[in-house]
Chain A
Amino acid sequence: MAGSVYSFYIFDRHTECIYTKRFNSAQPLRPHAAVTSLTKSSLPPTARKALSESDDAKLIFGTIFSLRRMVRQLGGEDDQFLSYRTNEYKLHYYETPTQLKFIMLTDTRVGSMRTVLHQIWATLYVEFVVKSPMAPAEHPGGVGVANEMFEGGLEGFIGSIFPPQPA
């Protein structure tokens, strides 16, 4: 599959970000385009720079939470938010029946990643996190999610879908 993946997030049902992973990790997630009319007027330049990874996760959660509600309002209770696209990236969304939320940010050329996110849940999260005897039932602060097997499995799986491209 052509294209590239930028980042991957898991949120639990308490709105908490329990797992974050970035790909092409040499670059920061928040480069040039952080200047918007919103931040420009209200925050000094240093504060804008200080927006960290956890702020990104919060913004992403807020976005999908609102979009999910909006989609239900427009399309009815059984409608599901799948993805959105800007001219630079695409956000894919998958929610499990237990309200775990899987989010992936990719290139715009990438097609639907719904099955991929489902696979990550079914074959990696359930196998290596849920079935792990060491992992707690809930994951406050991401405890017990980022174990070796899950990390390795995720990297291998994403690497097989998006083969590393020559620079």
Chain B
Amino acid sequence: MAACRSPAATSAAKLGVVFALLIINKAGGLIYNHTFAPGLQALNSNDSLILAGTFHGIHAISRTLNPVPPKHSNTSVPNSRNLPTTGIESLESSHFRLTCFQTPTGVKFLLVTSPEQPNADVVVRRCYEIYGDYVVKNPFYSLEMPVRVEKFEKALAGYLVRP
């Protein structure tokens, strides 16, 4: 199986397309926004900021809406197996799918893909790694501020844009 995974075979162009990546800081501000493939509506920077802020709020609300009854775990082990509620992890529409990954520090990675894209959660975690390597480890980058790092752009494009 591994032998036949030539670059051409791994190219997922037929399976799915990554349209865009947005990074929202823990205050709800948009710090990175890049479109990798056409297919979405073009948004001006103001609309993108509003969209990021709206999603940030809805993400918080979606946590409070949790209808799942608490598991009756034995009280001797408090909080056993009760994972904390996450907000929206993935959102589907008829044209795209949005995968949201929230890091432990509260940064949200929003990956907009076509609905057929497999393993979007893996892809978005890899984007987080790239962010860690090229943005957070960059001594000239100040946290929570818009990301303008050339090497990050290149690494992301190399990973997300299929030839």
Contacts and interface: CB of A to CB of B under 8 A. Distances in A.
A14 B81 CA distance: 41
A83 B92 contact: yes
A81 interface: yes
B75 interface: no
B157 interface: no
Contacts, number: 127
Contacts of B112: 74
Given A38-B64, A67-B58, A73-B41, A86 B88 contact: yes
B11 interface: no
Contact of A31 (B43, B54, B57, B70): B70
Nearest to A88: B68
Nearest to A80: B94
B34 to A, nearest CB: 14
Given A6-B67, A74-B40, A86 B86 contact: yes
A37 B56 CA distance: 13
A34 B47 CA distance: 31
A81 B93 contact: yes
B95 interface: yes
A163 interface: no
Contacts of A75: 40-41, 93-96
A63 interface: yes
Interface string B68-95: 1110000000000011111111111111
A91 B87 CA distance: 12
Interface residues of B, number: 37
A34 B85 CA distance: 9
Nearest to B41: A76
Most buried by A among B43, B54, B87, B91: B91
Most buried by A among B55, B62, B70: B62
Interface of B: 40-41, 43, 47, 51, 54-55, 57-58, 60-70, 82-96, 98, 112
14 contacts: A27-B69, A33-B68, A33-B70, A66-B57, A70-B54, A70-B55, A73-B51, A74-B40, A75-B94, A79-B96, A80-B93, A83-B92, A84-B92, A89-B67
Interface of A: 6-7, 24, 27-34, 36-39, 51, 56, 59-60, 62-63, 66-67, 69-71, 73-76, 78-89, 91, 105
